[in-house]
Structure 1
Amino acid sequence: MRRIMVLGAGYAGLHAVKQLVAQNPDAEIMLINKDVYHYDTARLHEVAVGRTDPSEISFNLREKINPGVTLVIDEVVRIDHDIRAVELRKNGLIFYDYLINALGGASSTPDVPGATGNVLPLITLDDAMRARSHVEQVLTDYRLSQNPYDLRVAVCGDGFSAVAFMAALMHEIPALAKKFDVPAKKMEVHCFASNPRPLYRFDPKLTEWIMEDLGGSGVIFHGSSRVTRIEPGTVFIGNQTFHANTIVWATGIRGSRVVPVSGYVQKFNRVIVNDDLSVVEADGGWPREFVIGDVSAVANPETGRVYPASAQLAIQQADCAVSNVLSLLHGGRTFRFVFKPYGTILPLGPHSGVAQLENSKGKYTRLKGAKVRLLISRMNKYFREAIV
């Protein structure tokens, strides 16, 4: 029996598995993932600030995956495309007939000297738990040290995860101050953005609303502040230094570290794909492989820019990749991927948010406030139903 292998149990990988099961192909469906659980990456900031328990945003794969799927818990080391095999840390080589690579992303910290080990990324559930434990520890330390840097948080980056984390933290500060008996008024959150205008990636109106909300809550923004080096408790901006005993790294993600050792054509470990999500030929043709999710680089045909990684993109890519695999399985052709974004929805704490929604005619509606939280709840429900 032929084998369709899916790598990674994020939104892209799990939705691909769900769609494959629904289509009931005449092939074995195998899912390989490093961990035995899935977690909602869009809600990691809730765990990091201590507002949400990890169990609320994660589930055990063995309990949710269809019993007809072969689940392998192991770490992917390398992909050998020529012999159609994936090398695993414990299980060695496992062969496939068709591959959907959805390995996901990793932190971009290696680019900055000293960042690894001295910052708190927010890419995985373990990252969020480490951030949570760290914040609780420095607040505990403050009672003895009275070190003002224990009450200072530096956030490097101003994208989605940075904004979501800062908004959640600002909302949680009163509760944290009470729990650890520290002065809430002395707690500081600073955001360092390399662009002169922080939050420039967002729509200008959303940027205005976010700045009003976070600035009003006390977040201090620093534009034109490219981080050049990190030391324990210190952020270097060129020749200037900023001291904080909590440094959160939220500058974006790279693709999986498996990418550069597997011969892909890539940029920042994100695989450059053809318009049907198949692999751009690097060292021979790999016609039975599709790359989706955070590990893929798909360009917007209108702007030429790579779409930012997101759950909505991953889920739509999974639909296309599954259709293409099943078509090839039956001797057919592949189909072009067309992304239909529904807009940007961003939480600003547990009771508010901002959104820019796009309709079928390409027109936008902008929303802010409590009404956006209802959209976020519906969005999270949609994402969960797409994968289980």
Structure 2
Amino acid sequence: MVLGAGYAGLHAVKQLVALQPDAEIVLVNRDVYHYDTARLHEVAVGRTDPSEISFNLRETIDPSVGLIVDDVMRIDHDIRAVELRNNGLVFYDYLINALGGATSTPEVPGASENAFPLITLDDALRARSHIERILTDYRVSQNPYDLRIAVCGDGFSAVAFMAALVHQLPILTKQFGVPADKFEVHCFASNPNPLYRFDPKLTEWIMEFLQGSNVIFHGSSRVTAVGPGEVHVGNQVFHANTIVWAAGIRGSEVVPISGYAQKFNRVIVRDDLSVIEADGSWPREFVIGDVSAFPNPETGRVYPATAQLAIAQAECAASNVAQLLKGGRTYRFDYKPYGTILPLGPHSGVALLQDSKGNYTRLKGAKVRLLISRMNKDFRDAID
């Protein structure tokens, strides 16, 4: 049984079908469609139609794979069963948990109620509908806060959203008849600069790119609360009638409910991606994708949750299940990232590429556009 049809889960199913194990394969997902999470910001700003980044699972997965569309409530490891909202208990022999992530907001009062996350396709559509409604309202209200968007977060998703937004602004302001010169985009970063762990040279160029597009950064500004139309930073209150929350993700809430040893709802796994349990009571389970925490063997730091990591983990987990079904031994997960690509709107971006010897190449500007197109195609091919 595979839980979740994101990058990790869907690719795991594809690999299992290719390996042809003597077993029934069942995929469980809350929706009947898969969507490209790396492009949700395009939908949120109105540049991309949802149909361009999503497709129906029944039309994609092999006919031999069973599909259950339902919500996972919890996993009972002792009896090897998954409890579903509508279908009750469904039993498994081997489990690949790829349930994905959720918005990381519980420590900030009011964030989940008053800000728009960008984790699911529904999130992106809600943000898009709100932005269009608030721009329509401005023509009557003339409220300057209707033209102000606050972005809470300093990571890749925050930067990608802001870059897509400023590129789309000329179209939005013309479409809704609002003054472009009064539109404001503010970014609240808990660190002095966004992407503080990314390559410093490329980060400097990203800052210049966004500030040149009139994005206003508030560095070292940790958001302490979010109210209706309000971002609180310590004792200061900043007003904006659109607030986007892009301050990271945590694993699915099913993880703590199901009794995993975890941190931020991510499960530290063994080197073969199986669950770490001292008594060895869950030997038939692998955890991959956003709910998995896999440490870099050289640094000890957990790898960030990315699509390329999820797809690589899926290949390993599927192979290990096939090995166990044959009575064989599992493989060690050996991860070699090939770099990072970050789009800055449809015509620009940055890339930090790594070769087999560990050497890095930096790219920026329009030349990255072709890499982004290739990356989107590769990810689509990996799960299609």
Q: In structure 1, how many angstroms separate the alpha carbons of the residues matched to 2:318 and 2:328?
A: 13
Q: In structure 1, how many angstroms separate the alpha carbons of the residues matched to 2:129 and 2:383?
A: 29
The equivalent of 1:137 in structure 2 is 133
1:304 CA drift (Å): 1.3
- Tell me the SS of whatever aligns to 1:117: helix
Q: In structure 1, how many angstroms separate the alpha carbons of the residues matched to 2:53 and 2:278?
A: 38
1:284 CA drift (Å): 5.4
Q: In structure 2, how many angstroms separate the alpha carbons of the residues matched to 1:332 and 1:245?
A: 57
1:171-199 deviation digits (Å, cap 9, x = unpaired)? 01111000000000110001111012332
1:54-102 deviation digits (Å, cap 9, x = unpaired)? 0000001111111000000011000001111000000000110000000
2:286 corresponds to 1:290: yes
The equivalent of 1:204 in structure 2 is 200
Q: In structure 2, how many angstroms separate the alpha carbons of the residues matched to 1:283 and 1:36?
A: 37
* Matched AA of 2:302: V
Runs of 4+ in 1 over 6 A off after TM superposition: none
1:129-161 deviation digits (Å, cap 9, x = unpaired)? 001001001101111111100000000001111
Q: Map of 1:90-105 to 2, 5 A cutoff? A: 90-105=86-101
The equivalent of 1:41 in structure 2 is 37
The equivalent of 1:220 in structure 2 is 216
Q: In structure 1, how many angstroms separate the alpha carbons of the residues matched to 2:279 and 2:127?
A: 41
2:237 corresponds to 1:244: no
The equivalent of 1:10 in structure 2 is 6
Aligned alpha-carbon RMSD (Å): 0.9
1:272 CA drift (Å): 1.2
Match for 2:299 among 303, 308, 330? Answer: 303
The equivalent of 1:111 in structure 2 is 107
* Matched AA of 2:308: Q
1:246-272 deviation digits (Å, cap 9, x = unpaired)? 000001101001000101010000111
Q: In structure 1, how many angstroms separate the alpha carbons of the residues matched to 2:110 and 2:138?
A: 25
* Matched AA of 1:287: P
Structure 2: stretches of 5+ with no match in the other structure: none
Q: In structure 2, how many angstroms separate the alpha carbons of the residues matched to 1:285 and 1:85?
A: 14
Q: In structure 1, how many angstroms separate the alpha carbons of the residues matched to 2:367 and 2:279?
A: 51
- Tell me the SS of whatever aligns to 1:110: coil
Match for 2:190 among 189, 194, 204? Answer: 194
- Tell me the SS of whatever aligns to 1:217: coil
Q: In structure 2, how many angstroms separate the alpha carbons of the residues matched to 1:285 and 1:340?
A: 30
- Tell me the SS of whatever aligns to 1:111: coil
Q: In structure 1, how many angstroms separate the alpha carbons of the residues matched to 2:145 and 2:107?
A: 25
* Matched AA of 1:353: G
2:72 corresponds to 1:76: yes
- Tell me the SS of whatever aligns to 1:109: coil
User: Is contact 1:198–1:222 with CA below 8 Å preserved after alignment?
Assistant: no
The equivalent of 1:383 in structure 2 is 379
- Tell me the SS of whatever aligns to 2:363: strand
Structure 1: stretches of 5+ with no match in the other structure: none
How many residues are aligned here? 384
2:188 corresponds to 1:175: no
Q: In structure 1, how many angstroms separate the alpha carbons of the residues matched to 2:118 and 2:258?
A: 26
User: Is contact 2:147–2:182 with CA below 8 Å preserved after alignment?
Assistant: yes
Match for 2:225 among 229, 233, 237? Answer: 229
* Matched AA of 1:85: A
User: Is contact 2:154–2:193 with CA below 8 Å preserved after alignment?
Assistant: no
The equivalent of 1:341 in structure 2 is 337
**Counterparts in 2 of 1:282 and 1:38: CA distance versus 1, 3 Å:** farther
Q: Percent identity?
A: 81
Q: In structure 1, how many angstroms separate the alpha carbons of the residues matched to 2:193 and 2:183?
A: 24
Q: In structure 1, how many angstroms separate the alpha carbons of the residues matched to 2:263 and 2:76?
A: 19
TM-score for the superposition, normalised by structure 2: 0.99
